[in-house]
Structure formats: structure tokens, C-alpha cells
């Protein structure tokens, strides 16, 4: 049969500016736009939960003191559909987090960009033309 409607797979560089409503949701209440930060630490736990996943890391300060941080990320459901599993980010993995700190001063941040120490993006790459494809490590 000749289905009159095919299926379209589109790249991110798309017809529409898809700025989702939720991008401006209560993150602005939870995190402080005036408190950007960069964290470097070793993963202790990866919570694959909804509505947001959380990466827990131990950050070692210049004085050698270890501070646990939790970093907020997106829903993991699409990662799971793309072959990631709960074992994809093992404890001990070192990562770099660029993001913003919690307004209430807690050791909590939203991770705007998360990479390995070599600069490779964690999880999936951006799909803008020319951007490197991120793959399941």
C-alpha cells in the first residue's frame, strides 16, 4: 500500500526554532544565573530517574577536601533508547561540569555542558552540522 505519509527523521538544525517552554521553567528558581561554575570530579552515582537525572560526583578541593556534588541533567529515557544503560557511567569516571549553582547554596548544580577531561561530550553529541557525534563510551 502506498502510505501517503512517510516518516521523517530530522536533524536538530531544523525548520522550526524549537525553544521548548520548559527551558525557562523553574530552573531559574532553582539555580542562580549569576553563579556559573565549573566542577571536576569523579562519579560516585548516576541516578537514572525522572523528571531529571542526577550525576553525583566527588569534587576534590585544592586543600584536598572531598565535597560531594549533585548535577542535574535531563530525562534519561532517550539515552536508554539509544543504548545507554545504568552501567554506562561507572563510578570513578572523571567528568567536567559547566553549569550553575543552586540558589539555596547547596552543593547542587545544573549541568549545562558535561564532558570528559579530554573535552569529549558525555552521552550524545550535538547534531548541529560539523559537531562531533557523541557515542556511548
Partner 1 sequence: MQIGFKSWMLLAATVAAGLLFTRIPSKAQGGAAAQAQTYRAPRTADGKPNLNGIWQALNEANWDLEAHAASQGPVLALGAQFSVPPGVGVVEGGAIPYKPEALAKKKENFANRTKEDPEVKCYMGGVPRSTYMPYPFQIIQGTGTIMMAYEYAGGVRIINMGKPTEAPVDSWMGWSNGRWEGDTLVIDVTGLNDQTWFDRAGNYHSDALHVVERYTPRSADTLMYEATIEDPNVFTRSWKISMPLYRRVEKNAQILEYKCPEFAEDMLYGHLRKQPSK
Partner 2 sequence: MKHLYFAPVCALTIAIVLLSSVNAMGQAKAYTPPKTADGVPDLQGIWSMLTNVPLERPANLGAKEFYTPEELAAQAQRAAAGGRAAAPTQPGTTADVHYDLSQFGLDRGHATVASSNRTSLIVGPEGKVPPLLAEAQKRQQERAAFQREHQWDGPETRPLTERCILWASEGPPMLAPGYNSNLQIVQGPGYVGIMQEMIHDVRIIPTDGRAHLPQGVRQWFGDSRGHWEGNTLVVDTTNFTDRTAFRGSTEKLHVIERFTRTGEETIKYEFTVEDPSAWAKPWSAEINWAKTTGPIFEYACQEANYGMANNLSGARATEKKAAEAANKASQEQQ
Residues forming contacts to partner 1 in the complex (CB under 8 A) are: 48, 76, 80, 84-86
Nearer to partner 2, 60 or 80 (CB): 80
Smallest gap from Cβ 98 to partner 1, in A, equals 26
Euclidean distance between CA atoms 19 and 134, whole angstroms = 22
Are the C-beta atoms of 110 and 27 separated by less than 8 Å? Answer: yes
Nearer to partner 2, 67 or 85 (CB): 85
Within 34-63, which residues bind partner 2 (CB under 8 A)? Answer: 34, 36, 47, 49-54
* Residue 64 interacting with partner 2 (CB under 8 A): no
- 18 phi, psi to nearest 5 deg: -95, 75
Smallest gap from Cβ 78 to partner 1, in A, equals 12
Task: Provide the grid cell at 111.
Answer: 549541568
What's the sign of the alpha-carbon dihedral 99, 41, 121, 21? negative
Member of 37, 60, 66, 131 binding partner 2 (CB under 8 A): 131
Smallest gap from Cβ 84 to partner 1, in A, equals 7
* Residue 121 interacting with partner 2 (CB under 8 A): yes
* Residue 85 interacting with partner 2 (CB under 8 A): no
Residue 73 burial (10 A CB sphere; 0-12, 13-18, 19+): buried
72: number of Cβ within 10 Å: 20
Amino acid at each position: 500500500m502506498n502510505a501517503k505519509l512517510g516518516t521523517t527523521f530530522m536533524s536538530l538544525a531544523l525548520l522550526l526554532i524549537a525553544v521548548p517552554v520548559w527551558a525557562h521553567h523553574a530552573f531559574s528558581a532553582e539555580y542562580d544565573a549569576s553563579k556559573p561554575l565549573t566542577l571536576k570530579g569523579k562519579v560516585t552515582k548516576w541516578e537514572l530517574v525522572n523528571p531529571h537525572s542526577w550525576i553525583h560526583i566527588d569534587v576534590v578541593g585544592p586543600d584536598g577536601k572531598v565535597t560531594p556534588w549533585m548535577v542535574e541533567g535531563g530525562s534519561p529515557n532517550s539515552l536508554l533508547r539509544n543504548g545507554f544503560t545504568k552501567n554506562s557511567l561507572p563510578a570513578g569516571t572523571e567528568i567536567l561540569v559547566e553549569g550553575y549553582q543552586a540558589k539555596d547554596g547547596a552543593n547542587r548544580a545544573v549541568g549545562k555542558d558535561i564532558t570528559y577531561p579530554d573535552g569529549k561530550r558525555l552521552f550524545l553529541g550535538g547534531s548541529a552540522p560539523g559537531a562531533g557525534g557523541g557515542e556511548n563510551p
